[in-house]
Amino acid sequence: MKKVVLLVTLGGPRTSGEIPDFIKRFTGKELPPQVMRAIIERYKLIGGYSPLCEITEKQSQLLQSELGDKYICLPAFRYAFPSISDSIDMALNSEADEILFFILSPFYTSVTTGNYINVAKEYLENLKLNVNLKFIHSWYKNENFISAWCNKIREETDNKDSFYIFSAHSLPEKFLNEPYKNQIVELTETIAKNLNLKNYKLGWQSIPSMAKEKWIEPTVENIIDEVKSLGFDEIIQVPIGFTADHIETLYDIDICHKEYAEKLNLKFKRISSLNTYPLFIKALADIVKSSQGEVNG
């Protein structure tokens, strides 16, 4: 019997025309026209859409090739299509004996991982089916995942004299009791140690401009200011909080952080996202096999 692996991500608008509906699903409400126009303008600056769905689909195809015929790999999106429920239906129709619900964020927070799990559980409860469903999450310690980041950084820069800013999406401080922050801190320290980096810091990004509560800091911008005062001339940003490109890397980093650094006369470079990097796909395969008690080859 086959097993179905659902690769679960947030999703994103595939075209400019999908942006309003995607944002409404994501926020759960109608936004004021001026806010929506600002969001659409951001997407225009990165090509008019998000590549996340396409990247997740490609990851699914490559993972299928890595795992072989015992598995069926499908994408599933929280706020895009195929939705989590759509993909669960496809998995059930395949008559597989087990569904592996593989969340592509390596870190746990109830905001994303917990929410995705609850959506899947509630959908299956409503179907009143006894389904063998296994959740895969919090896999940031996987050795090939860590090696993928280390190799990426080595391949794309050899300047140990630059200042490295590792970044991840911030959350409101009320979530500090969850594993998310500590897991990201641990991964940052592991990568920095493996690369023997001396000048680095973890920064938090993508805090909404209208946020009313306190979010995790320091922000990436805070650190850029600090780097300037310390006399460095180049920043290398490593987006370890994300495994694929979307608006938080392509707009928040590539446009906003780059412009912020360059206004301070600092050179700026981003390490590219893992996306379909071969060692990252191998890491995903390792994680799936480990969940089944298989020996990784």
CATH assignment at residue 246: 3.40.50.1400
Q: Is the peptide bond before 218 cis (omega within 30 degrees of 0)?
A: yes
Quick one: tokens of 262?
């360059």
Quote the pLDDT of residue 95: 85
Quote the pLDDT of residue 296: 60
Predicted confidence (pLDDT) per residue in 145-184, tens digit:
999 999 999 999 988 889 999 999 999 999 999 999 999 9
Q: Are residues 23 and 89 in the same domain?
A: yes
Quote the pLDDT of residue 153: 98
CB 223 within 8 A of CB 203: yes
| Average pLDDT of the residues in 10-35 | 97
Q: Are residues 167 and 133 in the same domain?
A: no
Q: Are residues 126 and 58 in the same domain?
A: yes
Predicted confidence (pLDDT) per residue in 98-148, tens digit:
999 999 999 999 999 999 999 999 999 999 988 899 999 999 999 999 999
Predicted confidence (pLDDT) per residue in 230-275, tens digit:
999 999 999 999 999 999 999 999 999 999 999 999 999 999 999 9
- Domain boundary among the residues 138, 168, 187 is at 138
The whole domain housing 115 covers 3-138
pLDDT(295) > 70: no
Predicted confidence (pLDDT) per residue in 2-14, tens digit:
899 999 999 999 9
Integer Cα distance of 145 and 131 in angstroms: 29
Q: How far is CA 135 from CA 6, 147, 218, 264, in A?
A: 10, 24, 32, 45
Q: Is the peptide bond before 106 cis (omega within 30 degrees of 0)?
A: no
Quote the pLDDT of residue 36: 97
Q: Are residues 132 and 198 in the same domain?
A: no
Quote the pLDDT of residue 48: 98
Q: Are residues 245 and 163 in the same domain?
A: yes
Quote the pLDDT of residue 191: 99
Is 257 contained in some domain? yes
Quick one: tokens of 150?
């280390």
Is 280 contained in some domain? no
Quote the pLDDT of residue 74: 99
Is 276 contained in some domain? no
- Domain boundary among the residues 103, 122, 138 is at 138
Q: Are residues 123 and 176 in the same domain?
A: no
Is 294 contained in some domain? no
Q: Are residues 24 and 127 in the same domain?
A: yes
Q: Are residues 12 and 132 in the same domain?
A: yes
Is 296 contained in some domain? no
Domain count, the chain: 2
Q: Hey, what's the torsion of the CAs at 140, 119, 50, 65, to 10 degrees? A: 60
Quote the pLDDT of residue 210: 86
Is 205 contained in some domain? yes
Predicted confidence (pLDDT) per residue in 58-91, tens digit:
999 999 999 999 999 999 999 999 999 999 999 9
Quote the pLDDT of residue 160: 80
Quick one: tokens of 210?
């209208």
Q: Are residues 133 and 152 in the same domain?
A: no
Is 278 contained in some domain? no
Residue carrying the six token digits 């979307």: 246
Q: Are residues 187 and 231 in the same domain?
A: yes
Assign 218 a pLDDT band (cuts: 50, 70, 90).
Answer: very high
Q: Are residues 201 and 226 in the same domain?
A: yes
Is 284 contained in some domain? no
- Domain boundary among the residues 110, 138, 166 is at 138
Q: Are residues 39 and 133 in the same domain?
A: yes
Predicted confidence (pLDDT) per residue in 177-203, tens digit:
999 999 999 999 999 999 999 999 999
CB 163 within 8 A of CB 199: yes
Q: What is the pTM of this model?
A: 0.97
| Average pLDDT of the residues in 193-221 | 97
Per residue, the 3-state secondary structure of the chain, as one string, reads CCEEEEEEECCCCCCHHHHHHHHHHHHCCCCCHHHHHHHHHHHHHCCCCCCHHHHHHHHHHHHHHHHCCCEEEEEEECCCCCEHHHHHHHHHHCCCCEEEEEECCCCCCHHHHHHHHHHHHHHHHHHCCCCCEEEECCCCCCHHHHHHHHHHHHHHCCCCCCEEEEEEECCEHHHCCCCHHHHHHHHHHHHHHHCCCCCEEEEEECCCCCCCCCECCCEHHHHHHHHHHHCCCEEEEECCCCCCCCHHHHCHHHHHHHHHHHHCCCEEEECCCCCCCHHHHHHHHHHHHHHCCCCCC
Quote the pLDDT of residue 158: 85
pLDDT(31) > 90: yes
